[in-house]
Structure 1
Amino acid sequence: MNDRKLGRPVPDWTPPPRPDRERLEGRLVRLEPLVADAHALALHDAFEGHDDLWDYMPYGPFTSGTAYHRWARQREAGDDPQFLVLVDQASGLPGGIASYLRITPEAGSIEVGHICIAPRMQRGAAATEAMFLMMDWAFHAGYRRYEWKCNALNLASRRAAQRLGFSFEGVFRNHLIVKGRNRDTAWFSVIDSEWPALQEAFRVWLDPTNFDAMGRQRERLSDLTRLVRAASDPALER
């Protein structure tokens, strides 16, 4: 039988478990399941005044803490997506939110999305560590494919995906209608065979010795992940 025509065999495949709202602990950040009463008002305070955070989201901006609490209450017990709150280890304050979604254990595929990081946590090591912790959980659980999708116009999200080691897979045209507007969707992924090298890249970058006394990085994560990526995003090279 010609495997080149039929695909590589995947012997003894066992679907991985679904995420179970477990807490993920890092040095700089912890991720804990969204609980509206515990997190919503603090998250709203962190997001308030930055309506651009919601430009590419299918919801928001939120006019009040009450409105955001209502949104969080509707989603805190959801099975897919499953929302996690990024809590700064030093201050104990929530600084962002993300989720696992399109969870497909039978195919070994899972996506990260609904990422919203407050300005105080943006461009910091804690947000990067959070993305590492979520990816690390997925591959240790046995997932084969970890996805990132975003509006193709959202160049900041496309840059973030590439920096984190995701490989560009293309753009799905006329993929969705969001807030009454067309959305072309850029697709990225990391697969299990790439994870050991990416895991080491994250560990090198997150090591405290990679930062000087002012917190400035010595090595860039994008430099460490570049050799692992199977394909780069051409939109970022223009």
Structure 2
Amino acid sequence: MFNRGLGDDAELRPLEPWQAAEFAAYTDRVRDALKPWIPWAYTVTDVTSARAFLQGYADRQAADTGRIFGLYVSGILQGGLVYRAFDAAQGVCEIGVWLAPEARGRGLVTRAGQVLIDWALDVRGMTRVEWLCDPRNEASIAAARRLGFTYEGTHRKAFHVDGEHRDVQVWAIVT
């Protein structure tokens, strides 16, 4: 286990299946803020589903195809980051983020996102780091810009959330 300090009493920590109750409680607390953008906000509804979701990422970490991290402020889970996709052989990964409304505006996603970008590029040798977001998610677009991602285009009707097919913007950092 590791914790990576981010300043401002914030830490980036791995999220693991044994933390399912904490993750389920967090999701319940911020569900309405996540639902417009995050598909798992609909499916993580209790400790059992939270454990299954986190176990999926534990399995992906073991296979070197993804990882999940919690973003903690003053010891309280306030958000998270994932390598939603991680393909070391191709040198391509995707980062995803989410944050509780009360923790926004403090640069936490920028600092934590930079940690994931730096590790992917500098330690793992990735040549492409992607950031995908709904074109209506202005906060996500602003974070992508702050982190140095370049907008590459929009995939129309690329994912399904809450009965609606949604567009997704593709942003990337390439080396």
Q: Same fold (TM over 0.5)?
A: yes
| 1:51–1:61 contact (8 Å) kept in structure 2 | no
Task: Report the TM-score, using the length of structure 1 for normalisation.
Answer: 0.61
CA distance in 2, matches of 1:148, 1:140: 18
Is residue 111 from structure 1 mapped to residue 94 from structure 2 by the alignment? Answer: yes
Per-residue deviation, 1:83: 0.9
How much is the aligned-residue C-alpha RMSD, in angstroms?
2.6
Is residue 151 from structure 1 mapped to residue 134 from structure 2 by the alignment? Answer: yes
CA distance in 2, matches of 1:62, 1:103: 22
> Percent identity over the alignment?
28
| 1:47–1:119 contact (8 Å) kept in structure 2 | no
The 1:185/1:106 distance shift into structure 2, 3 A limit, reads same
DSSP-derived class of the 2:101 partner: coil
Paired residue for 1:66, among 31, 34, 47?
47
CA distance in 2, matches of 1:62, 1:84: 18
- 1:1-238 to structure 2, matched below 5 A, reads 23=2, 25-28=4-7, 29-38=10-19, 40-41=21-22, 44-45=25-26, 48=29, 50-61=31-42, 66=47, 69-79=50-60, 80-88=65-73, 91-113=74-96, 115-141=97-123, 142-192=125-175
Per-residue deviation, 1:42: 5.9
CA distance in 1, matches of 2:173, 2:44: 36
CA distance in 2, matches of 1:178, 1:45: 20
CA distance in 1, matches of 2:98, 2:17: 16
CA distance in 2, matches of 1:139, 1:133: 10
DSSP-derived class of the 1:186 partner: strand
Runs of 5+ in structure 1 lacking a partner? 1-21, 193-238
Cα deviation digits, residues 83-103 of structure 1 (max 9, x gap): 111123xx2222211101221
Task: Report the TM-score, using the length of structure 2 for normalisation.
Answer: 0.80
Larger radius of gyration: 1
The 1:55/1:153 distance shift into structure 2, 3 A limit, reads same
Partner letter of residue 146 of structure 1? V
Runs of 5+ in structure 2 lacking a partner? none
Per-residue deviation, 1:59: 2.2
DSSP-derived class of the 2:144 partner: helix
Partner letter of residue 66 of structure 1? V
> 1 or 2, which has the higher strand percentage?
2
CA distance in 2, matches of 1:96, 1:39: 14
Please identify, of 133-142 and 69-78, the stretch whose mean Cα deviation from structure 2 is larger: 69-78
Q: What is the number of residues matched between the two proteins?
A: 168
DSSP-derived class of the 2:59 partner: coil
Per-residue deviation, 1:49: 5.1
